[in-house]
Amino acid sequence: MRFVVSTSELSKKLSQISGVISSNTVLPILEDFLFDIKEGKMKIFATDMETSMSTEVAVEAKEDGKIAIPARILLDTLKTLPEQPLTFSFDEANFAVEIKSATGKYKLAGENPEDFPKIPTIEDASEVEIPSEILGKAIANSLFATSNDELRPAMTGVFFQMETTGINFVATDASKLVKYARKDISIDTPASFIVPKKALQLVKGSLPTQETRVSISYNNTNAFFTFNETQLICRLVDAKYPDYNAVIPAENNNILELNRVDFLNTLKRISIFSNKTTYQCILNIAGNELKVSSQDLDFSNEAFEKMDCNYNGDDIEIAFNARFLIEMLGILNTDEVHLELSTPARAGILVPADQEEGESLLMLVMPVMVS
């Protein structure tokens, strides 16, 4: 069995799905790409049993066939080759693979394609279509707030909450929470599910730069993201998402308006002098003046800055983890932000001053005890 394929096209497609492959797998076949050739087109699959990706590339082939090829050696080889047609030949009896370029020949051992795990198929699934720009924005705004705590699996992914009035993307690690809502996308039948962090990282990295529609199909166990020739299938997190609305304060009457970049840079400087366990920074707001301070008593480090601001509310002193605020401000892309506060013991809400029609972004950060 043989086929001819463009070096750059193959390299581009393999790089797109290679992030699925885990280097710490107990099954050697999971370190391979599965090549499946049918009617002059080649589908390429990669999986780690929880997440699978596939893509498609045009090839010249006279017959159909399958082969599993080790991913790392193939990717490393393609990266060093200039653009040219490559000829792949493989023996379906012993799975030996030979690659011919214009100047060389490379041999490696493939594996039995029948040992490659079966990729889930769409069954009894509902579907929603989302523009790639909106999905990419939703993932970028929420993914950073997910947890790495495997003891709380629900928080290790992003909660997709689909309603007839819109769709919410929610992520939290119990210290911070993000809710990104779109009112311009709705479905007929409400549904909700949790998509793992790794799957969304791969979707975000694979979304095309040009605008396209992403089809999201989902059932009780899996979600399927399909766009152009690419499909990602992931097993959903089997857990109940916490009632996130219960932790969002209903009345935050103290409103602080700030220049986002100025506030971000101030926090970056102040956090250098903070305690490296808590990263505590204290915001002291009185009138139209904000004082930001931190200290690390163990090393006699201390920092203090004043900022002009617009403030409507009672004077307040509240402390936050500076890293969380820096992370949130780095995700936002507006010139001005609002920090909504109620009391020193209740969560603060960070929102962009200007939002597009049909969207709503809310970032919540829990305070830390002033020490």
Indicate whether 136 and 240 sit together in one domain: yes
- Domain boundary (96, 115, 134) is at 115
| Residue 312 within a domain | yes
Last residue of a domain, one of 82, 115, 148: 115
pTM beyond 0.95: the answer is no
Q: What count of Cα atoms within 13 Å lies in the side-chain half-sphere of residue 166? A: 13
Query: Does any domain span residue 227?
Result: yes
What is the predicted pLDDT for the residue at 40? 84
Tokens of 138: 């939703």
Q: Which two tokens stand for residue 279?
A: 């990263």
User: In the prediction, which pLDDT does 26 show?
Assistant: 83
The predicted pLDDT at position 59 comes to 95
Where residue 219 sits, what CATH number does that domain have?
3.10.150.10
Predicted local confidence at residue 92, as pLDDT:
87
CA–CA distance, 22 with 40 (Å, rounded to integer): 29
Examine the domain organization and report whether 81 and 155 are in the same domain. no
Residue 121 lies in a domain: no
| Residue 333: how many other CB atoms lie within 10 Å | 11
Q: Are 254 and 362 in a shared domain?
A: yes
What is the model's pLDDT at position 342?
94
Q: 155-159 long-range CB contacts below 8 Å, 24 or more apart? A: 155/242, 156/196, 156/197, 156/237, 157/194, 157/195, 157/196, 157/197, 157/199, 157/200, 157/236, 157/237, 158/194, 158/195, 158/197, 158/200, 159/192, 159/193, 159/194, 159/241, 159/244
Question: Total structural domains in the chain?
Answer: 3
Within-domain flag for 45:
yes
C-alpha 138/C-alpha 359 separation (Å) is 10
State how far the alpha carbon of 263 is from the alpha carbons of 7, 201, 290, 305, in Å. Answer: 47, 28, 10, 10
**So what's the pLDDT on residue 371?**
66
- The pLDDT assigned to 207 comes to 94
Name the residue range of residue 328's domain.
249-368
Tens place of pLDDT for every residue, the chain, 371 residues? 999 999 999 999 999 999 999 887 889 999 999 999 998 899 999 999 999 999 999 999 999 999 999 999 999 999 999 999 999 999 989 999 999 999 999 999 999 999 999 999 988 899 999 999 999 999 999 999 999 999 999 999 999 999 999 999 999 999 999 999 999 988 889 999 999 999 999 999 999 889 999 999 999 999 999 999 999 999 999 999 999 999 999 889 999 999 999 999 999 999 999 999 999 999 999 988 999 999 998 899 999 999 989 999 999 999 999 999 999 999 999 999 999 999 999 999 999 998 888 899 999 999 998 86
Which of helix, strand or coil describes residue 138? helix
For residues 269 and 324, membership in a common domain is answered with yes
Single out the residue in 115, 142, 158 at which a domain terminates: 115
